[in-house]
Amino acid sequence: MITGHGRLKLRDGRGVEVAYQFASEYDDRRAGNLLFDTTAYHDGLFCTRLILDCDDGRCIALVVMNRSDQHLAVAGRVLECPVDAA
C-alpha cells in the first residue's frame, strides 16, 4: 500500500490537504482512497477530473468512484508535473 499526504486541487480553484492510501500501483495507474472531511465541500466539486499533488512530487489525475463523509474512493493515472487543474 502506498500512503502519504498531498494537496487535492478542486474545480473551484481551492486546494484541500488530504491523506491518501493507494491499494494498487500498476504501471502509472493508481486506485485507493483520499482521506479528509468531505462534508465541508459541495458534491459538484468532485464530478470532474481532479489533480492530486503528492508529497513525493508526483501528480495524479483522478476520478471519484465513490464518496463518504470521510473519504473519496478514486482511480487515476500518474502525470508529468506540474499540471493545471483546467
Query: What does the pLDDT read at residue 80?
Result: 79
Chunked into runs of 10 residues, the chain (86 residues) has average pLDDT values of 94 94 84 95 92 93 96 93 61
CB 86 within 8 A of CB 74: no
Cα 61 from Cα 80, distance rounded (Å): 10
Query: What does the pLDDT read at residue 82?
Result: 67
Cα 23 from Cα 34, distance rounded (Å): 11
CB 25 within 8 A of CB 2: yes
Instruction: Return the domain boundaries, the chain.
Output: 2-79
CB atoms within 10 A of CB 59: 18
Q: Is the pTM of this model over 0.75?
A: yes
In angstroms, the first-to-last Cα distance of the chain is: 29
Please give the class, per CATH, of domain 2-79. Answer: mainly beta
Per-residue pLDDT tens digits for 59-72: 999 999 999 999 99
